[in-house]
Homo-oligomer: A and B are copies of this chain.
Amino acid sequence: MKLAVVGAGAVGQAVLELADGYGHTVTAVADSSTGALDPAGIDIDSVLTQKHTDGTVGSQTLDAVLEGEYDALIEATPTTIGNAEPAFGHVQRALGRDRDVVLANKGPVAQRYEDVRALERESDGTVRFEATVGGAIPVFSTIEDVGPGNVTAVRGVLNGTANFILSRMTAEGVAYEHALAEAQDIGVAEADPSFDVDGTDAALKCVILGNVLTDAAYTLDDAEVMGIRDIPASALELAQDDGSTIRLIGEVDGEGVRVRPRLVDEHGTLAVSGTQNIVQVETTHAGRLNISGRGAGGRETATAIMSDLRALES
């Protein structure tokens, strides 16, 4: 397929790197202020070099990219909440032109799910968003496989940064601030870690899952969210004495959407370590499915985008 990639951070760059290997041609790419277009396929190496040297991807505009020639728009700009702009506008323009949309950005399907579905119904294009939850983990394709009506609940560890911090607090017996600083040192946590440690990122993922499972049009406002900032090292020690540990667990079921620290069996399936993610899918006829893997990272997220593109082609 011909791809327009909007967003040139880790995920957008990984899409540029992988696209050719999966049989796709990137005909347009934009970051927040610049763009490059070539209907025959942009020169990936030179765009990546330019991005790394002067921070731009080309001499065109984002607007030109959105009006360019492509089959599928890859939305990989940073997630915003509220009205999910500017990503929502990008989705709207692509669907308005009957193009497919693949989202890595969580905003549109977390905050404006009904609006996105309404635009999709009016369009010949389709919206897919495997990359929004669990990185490389095939969450939505598994739910599609099982059938959303046969899934009674989904829960799991959906934020690798929070999980890394809790894993380190447990393994080293250190305080939250210490583990956070270590995570920041190695690039697992951002300078402002709020989005991850306050549970917002995990909650957005659960909201998207809730929207797919129930068509309920949840937004972040509907989620009960508690983060990990206030967990003392002593709580993890107490848990450990009892064969348990603490993980930030997101959950979606008939009762709604919740993210909160929970006690889990220290050797149990939910106690993944480091930046791993795990998703448990409860099904009506086949019990529980557990899927774990790398929940973040440019390449990992880009492979989820590639799997959406494969589904769009088939």
Q: Which residues of A pack against B, CB within 8 Å? A: 18, 22, 135-138, 141-142, 144-147, 150, 267, 269, 283, 285-294, 297, 299-300, 302-304, 306-307, 310, 314
Contacts and interface: CB of A to CB of B under 8 A. Distances in A.
Majority secondary structure of chain A interface residues (helix, strand, loop or mixed): mixed
A13 to B, nearest CB: 13
Contacts of A146: 138, 303, 307
B136 A141 contact: no
A310 B300 CA distance: 27
A287 B299 CA distance: 10
Given A136-B283, A290-B291, 10 more contacts: A18-B285, A138-B141, A145-B310, A146-B307, A147-B307, A285-B302, A286-B294, A286-B299, A288-B293, A291-B291
Nearest to A290: B292
Contact of A300 (B141, B145, B286): B286
A144 B310 CA distance: 9
A285 B269 contact: no
A306 B18 CA distance: 32
A286 B303 contact: yes
In the complex, the count of this chain's copies comes to: 2
Nearest to A314: B314
Nearest to A288: B293
The 4 closest A-B pairs by CB, nearest first: A136-B286, A267-B267, A289-B293, A145-B307
Contact of A303 (B138, B285, B304): B285
Contact of A289 (B138, B269, B314): B138
A63 B283 CA distance: 36
A248 to B, nearest CB: 19
Nearest to A294: B287
Which among A22, A137, A285, A314 has the greatest number of chain B C-beta atoms within 10 A? A285
A306 B147 contact: yes
Contacts of A304: 286
Nearest to A278: B290
B303 A283 contact: yes
Given A136-B283, A300-B285, A303-B146, A293 B292 contact: no
A292 B292 CA distance: 9
Contact of A141 (B141, B285, B297, B303): B141
9 contacts: A18-B285, A136-B287, A138-B141, A141-B142, A147-B306, A286-B297, A286-B303, A289-B293, A290-B292
A223 B22 CA distance: 31
